[in-house]
Structure 1
Amino acid sequence: MNILKGPFKLYLKEKAALGNKNYLTRAKSGISYGESTLQLGELTKITTSHHLDLTRSIFFGDFSILAGIRSQLWTHGYYHSNQGADRVRIDGEIFIGDNVYVGSGCIFNPGVRVANAVHIGGGCTVSKNLDKSGMYVNQGLRYIENDLQNIRKKLTKVEGFDLVEEVYKKE
């Protein structure tokens, strides 16, 4: 009862499992570019009713679990200018290490990396790399001053594909 849409590769190592009612999606060429992969390491599990955006790849290490329900892993997002229609899409692969537990209802932003032996509490938004092993719970909401030109300077423009919009990637 999973829904898999779009061109991507799926690799399941020994005893890895994809539960039910998960939604794995990727847009067609022209909106997406290159190859994309979902890889689950040994004995890694994705439980039920999660949404994985595979605009770019998502890699889970060994012995990890995307637990509970309704977590979202986004490998693309947008940054809009302060006025008018100008915007860019920002893409980034997600890497989740070995022995990682992700609680129910978490949201991952594009381009984040999670170290080995990390426990993420339910309902967290992961918007930056989690480099140190241990427990992470809710981030405080904070204001970050920025504008579209600064965002473009920090990222690498994707070129050489017939894309329908301006796309940058976070590396």
Structure 2
Amino acid sequence: MRFKLSKQNVQLGENSIVYNTKFSFSSKGDHFYIGNNTTITGATLLGHDASPCVFLDALVLKPDVWAVGSRKSFRDPIHIGDNVFVGHGCIILPGVVIGDNTIVAAGSVVTKNLDSDSVYVGNPARKIKHIDNYIQKYKSILSDSPEKF
């Protein structure tokens, strides 16, 4: 499904759910791509770096920097893959790609691309385990203590 949000582009995949999430747009039009079967819970997605000013003249010639008066700001689309879970309070910075089948724990700050099939936590987000290990752990807990679920 494709829809417009505040006159900006957000592409949301099938069966995806976005709860209380802030899409930070700039006047230049930032893009967000969210895959299928993805859940985002109370995160902030920054399509630009939100800096008030960057005074580096060398940046002016870069294709991914926009000058607005004396303000220059880095921007790049955010891509979130299929079957991804983004926990509450996460911040995802511009230009990040989150691979398929990935979990980003609550409160994480995503500053660089995240591999598929992985679990990430922290600030900055760091990989702690492969998704198969995570699934196996919770299958075991479910089997041993179904009342917890």
TM-score range, shorter chain: 0.5 to 0.7
Q: Say what the alpha-carbon RMSD is for the aligned residues.
A: 2.5
Correspondence 1:65-80 to 2 at 5 A: 65-67=39-41, 69=42, 71-77=43-49, 78=51, 80=54
CA distance in 2, matches of 1:129, 1:113: 5
Q: Which residue of 1 aligns with 2:22?
A: 51
Distance 1:73 1:25, change over 3 A: farther
Of Structure 1 and Structure 2, which has the larger fraction of its residues in helix? Answer: 2
SS at match of 2:23: strand
> Counterparts of 1:130 and 1:25 in 2: how far apart (Å)?
28
For the pair 1:123 / 2:107, whether they are aligned, the reply is: yes
Q: 1:39 aligns to what SS in structure 2? A: strand
Cα deviation, residue 25, structure 1: 4.2
What's the secondary structure of 1:76's corresponding residue? coil
Amino acid at match of 2:90: C
Match of 1:11 in 2: 2
Matched, 1:107 2:79: no
For 1:103 and 1:140, locate their aligned partners in 2 and report how far apart those are by CA, in whole Å.
14
Match of 1:3 in 2: none
Query: TM-score under structure 1 normalisation?
Result: 0.55
| Equivalent position amino acid for 1:43 in 2 | N
Indicate the residue corresponding to 1:64 in structure 2: 38
Structure 2 CA distance for partners of 1:88 and 1:114, relative to 1, 3 Å: same
Structure 2 segments unaligned to the other structure (5+ residues): 57-69, 126-149
Q: Deviations over 1:36-87 (max 9, x none)?
A: 421111100001x2211243110111100002x3x110101236349xxx75
TM-score by length of 2: 0.63
Query: Structure 1: how far apart are the matches of 2:94 and 2:124?
Result: 19
Change (3 A) 1:135 1:60: same
Q: Which residue identity lines up with residue 37 of structure 1 in the other structure? A: N
2:63 is equivalent to residue 91 of structure 1 = no
Contact 1:25–1:53 (CA<8 Å) still a contact in 2? no
Following TM superposition, the consecutive aligned residue runs of length 4 or more in structure 1 with deviations greater than 6 angstroms are none
Aligned length: 107
Is the CA contact 1:25–1:52 (under 8 Å) kept in the aligned structure 2?
no
Identity %: 29
What is the Cα deviation at residue 140 of structure 1? 4.8
Larger radius of gyration between Structure 1 and Structure 2: 2
Judging changes above 3 Å, is the alpha-carbon distance between structure 1 residues 140 and 75 closer, same or farther for their aligned structure 2 residues?
Answer: closer
Distance 2:16 2:80 in 1: 11
